[in-house]
Homo-oligomer: A and B are copies of this chain.
Amino acid sequence: MPQATVTAALVVIGNEILSGRTRDVNVAYLARQLTAMGINLAEVRMVRDEERAIIAAVNTLRAAHDYVFTTGGIGPTHDDITCEAVARAFNLPYRVNPEAKRILEAFYEGTGRELNEARMRMAHTPEGASLIDNPVSGAPGFRVENVHVLAGIPAVMRGMFESVAPTLEGGRTVKSREVAVLLGEGDVAARLEALQERYPALEIGSYPFVRDGAFGTTLVLRGTDEDEIARAAGELCAALRDLGGEPELPPAPPAPIG
């Protein structure tokens, strides 16, 4: 039987995210993937390309969670400092990894692009790191203990995550069920709180939306026991009807993200 709770944290590294130049899309992708595997993404930190900030985030989070992922800062230019910072976080030498070097040599051969000194940065890892296959652009990510160092470019990050996913052990999978109703959050709050008290093992969330000028609320029930979720959803729908609402089961309206 899988562990009840497996947690992960993510460190998003890059000035371009914090200046607003680039909009991060990796958090949402990893959040969905990890959740589907029964791994609870507990925390995300976004930091600048600064060694101290990277080291502090990696060391705090790897001690607190089963898995840590980093995205960004592993390319060939001077502002790509993630690999060296992770080596320092683990007090490991930062060296050419012979396997990474072979992968890069094979990747650049015949491309007209040269495996120069800058690109050789991408052949360096903390000593003893395991490589993470990059099916998109050659240069591998790597893992040291529970820390997985991935690229920042979304397509490359996804390819690397897919390489890593089979090695991760999830906990019990969290199922969720949504119910939407055209009642305000404040109208359903008391019933919802009572339901939460009756079902302490479920995580019950409430998210407002506006549809054609009317206020509505999407209620999300999450937990590992589908029968329990179904029972709670039944009670919830009864309570919503009691308040004069017409509960709609999926497809629910999209969350207000715009």
A contacts, CB < 8 Å to B: 12, 15-25, 27-35, 40-49, 53, 75-80, 113-114, 116-119, 121-122, 153-155, 174, 176, 184-190, 192-193, 196, 203-208, 215, 220, 222, 255-258
Contact = CB atoms under 8 A, between A and B. Distances in A.
Given A79-B205, A208-B75, A187 B16 contact: no
Contacts of A187: 113-114, 116, 118
B21 A255 contact: yes
Nearest to A78: B193
B44 A46 contact: yes
A177 B189 CA distance: 49
Contacts of A256: 153-155
A228 to B, nearest CB: 18
A164 B185 CA distance: 25
B116 A15 contact: no
Copies held by the complex: 2
Given A47-B43, A116-B190, A257-B154, A17 B22 contact: no
Contacts of A122: 186
The list of the 10 closest CB pairs from A to B, nearest first, reads: A118-B189, A20-B31, A20-B32, A44-B46, A119-B186, A77-B206, A78-B193, A76-B186, A23-B28, A22-B255
Nearest to A139: B186
A189 B46 contact: no
A21 B77 contact: no
Nearest to A220: B21
Contact of A78 (B12, B32, B196): B196
Contacts of A185: 75-77, 118
